Amino acid sequence: MPANHPELNNRAQGWLNFLYQKATTPDDWEKSWRNNNESHPLVNQWRFMGLGLCVDDLESASGYYSSLGFTKSKDRFYRKEWKTDYIEYSLGGILFELMKPEEVSIYSDSIKQRGEGVAEIIFEV
C-alpha cells in the first residue's frame, strides 16, 4: 500500500531528532533569546501580526479557512507591486493573508520551490 506521506529520509530524521532533543532538554535558551531581542534597538518594538500563506487555489483555500471559523477581514484584492491576489482572514487578532501569485514574482518562486504554505511572517515595526 503506498504511503500518503513524504519519505522520512536522513535529513528529516535529523531534524526530528534535533527538535525532540530541543523540546525535552531543560534550558533557558528562550529566556536568553527573548532578553537579547527585547534589548536590541532594531527589533525591540516589533509586534507579530500574522502570516502570509501562498496557495494554488485562492477560492478553495478561502472556503477552507471560512469553514474553520476564521473571519474574512478583506475580500479578494490585487497587489500590483507583488503581482499577487489576496484574501485576508483573521483569528484571535492574528492576520492570515492567503496569496495566489498571478505572475512571475517572489511568491510564484516560493510556491514553485516549496509548494503551498507560509511565505512570509508579518510584523509591525
What pLDDT is attached to residue 21? 75
Per-residue pLDDT tens digits for 56-109: 999 999 999 999 999 998 889 898 988 999 999 999 889 999 999 988 889 999
Domain range enclosing 111: 45-125
CB contact at 8 A, 108 and 90: no
Q: Which residue in this structure is represented by grid cell 518594538?
A: 45
Tally Cβ neighbours within 10 Å of residue 97.
Answer: 21
Domain contains 32 = no
pTM for the model? 0.64
Per-residue pLDDT tens digits for 15-44: 777 777 766 777 777 677 777 777 776 766
- The CATH number assigned to the domain holding 66 equals 3.10.180.10
What pLDDT is attached to residue 96? 95
Sheet holding 117-124, edge to edge: 71-79, 84-91, 94-101, 47-54, 117-124
Domain contains 61 = yes
CB contact at 8 A, 57 and 65: no
SS3 38: helix
With residue 31 as reference, give the H or E element that holds it: helix 29-39
What pLDDT is attached to residue 26? 72
- pLDDT of residue 46 exceeding 90, the answer is no
What pLDDT is attached to residue 7? 66
Question: Residue 97's closest CA among 50, 59, 56?
Answer: 50
CA dihedral 31, 97, 49, 28 (to 10 degrees): 0
Q: Report the number of distinct structural domains present in the chain.
A: 1
